[in-house]
Amino acid sequence: MKGVRTTTSNRLRISRHGRQRQQQRGVPCSRVDMVIDFGRVYRNRNGRIAYFLGQRGVRDARRRGFRVEDAKNTAVVVAADGTVVTVISSADCKRLRRAGWR
């Protein structure tokens, strides 16, 4: 697919828009992986999935022996085909709920 790259871990494909937002917000690929591994899952009607890593996710990861504090308050939106669409840095997951994510 044109404009799609993979992360350093080769687990995820990232769209051109997602790569641009990731760079603008200073979020490395390793942090995107952490958010997807340990974040809370929100879904919308279009088949997209948003992963949000808040305080609860950081606490759960710490209990399992992982350090993910750097990824706190980051959301990653993934399309139905598994491509990362965008990366959001926000301390408020309520913004996702207001936008129709459940």
Confidence at residue 97, expressed as pLDDT on a 0 to 100 scale = 64
Confidence at residue 8, expressed as pLDDT on a 0 to 100 scale = 47
Confidence at residue 44, expressed as pLDDT on a 0 to 100 scale = 85
Would residue 36 count as lying in a domain?
A: yes
Distance CA 38, CA 65 (A): 12
Would residue 17 count as lying in a domain?
A: yes
Q: Give me the residues of the chain with pLDDT under 50, please.
A: 1-2, 4-8
Would residue 69 count as lying in a domain?
A: yes
Would residue 9 count as lying in a domain?
A: yes
Token look-up 């308050």 returns 73
Confidence at residue 95, expressed as pLDDT on a 0 to 100 scale = 67
Would residue 98 count as lying in a domain?
A: no
Token readout for 99 is: 């936008």
Would residue 41 count as lying in a domain?
A: yes
Distance CA 3, CA 53 (A): 26
Range of the domain at 81: 5-91
> Where does residue 24 rank: exposed (0-12), middle (13-18), buried (19+ CB within 10 A)?
exposed
Number of structural domains in the chain: 1
Model pLDDT for residues 77-97, shown as the tens digit of each residue: 999 999 999 998 876 666 666
CA–CA distances in Å: residue 10 to residues 2, 51, 89? 17, 18, 23
